[in-house]
């Protein structure tokens, strides 16, 4: 082997160790791309979560406002006149004529219970 060939061979070997070319010195970009993609996806998820939180807070404030309005309406309705009572007054004593009706018990009892029914 001549001196020129040996120098050329040694020079080529030296270039490979410097990372100038070939597969031995090239950088693997896959982990970097995956990390960058994960960062992008994480940022998108974070912004979406922030938007959902803001929307939820806005709806809760609207619901609280509506509840306060309804409470005010209920309070105003309670202060207003109550609806007139329908039917007989439960605090009043009514006289019912029971002469000639079928009865049970003593006719001089202090309390008389009268039942009104419709047998149809």
Q: Would you place residue 17 in the very low, low, confident or very high pLDDT band (cuts 50, 70, 90)?
A: very low
Q: Would you place residue 16 in the very low, low, confident or very high pLDDT band (cuts 50, 70, 90)?
A: very low
Q: Would you place residue 19 in the very low, low, confident or very high pLDDT band (cuts 50, 70, 90)?
A: very low
Q: What is the pTM of this model?
A: 0.40
Cα 33 from Cα 19, distance rounded (Å): 21
pLDDT tens track for 57-104: 999 999 999 999 999 999 888 888 777 878 888 888 888 887 888 888
- Assigned token pair, 22: 């070939």
Q: Is residue 114 within 8 Å of 98, Cβ to Cβ?
A: yes
């Amino acid at each position: 082997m001549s001196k020129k060939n040996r120098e050329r061979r040694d020079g080529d070997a030296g270039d490979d160790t410097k990372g100038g070319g070939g597969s031995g010195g090239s950088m693997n970009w896959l982990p970097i791309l995956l990390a960058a993609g994960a960062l992008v996806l994480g940022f998108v998820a974070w912004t979406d979560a922030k938007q959902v939180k803001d929307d939820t807070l806005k709806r809760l404030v609207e619901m609280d406002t509506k509840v306060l309005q309804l409470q005010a309406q209920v309070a105003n309705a309670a202060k207003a006149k109550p609806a007139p009572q329908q039917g007989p007054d439960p605090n009043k004593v009514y006289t019912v004529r029971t002469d000639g009706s079928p009865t049970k018990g003593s006719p001089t009892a202090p309390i008389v219970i009268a039942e009104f029914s419709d047998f149809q």
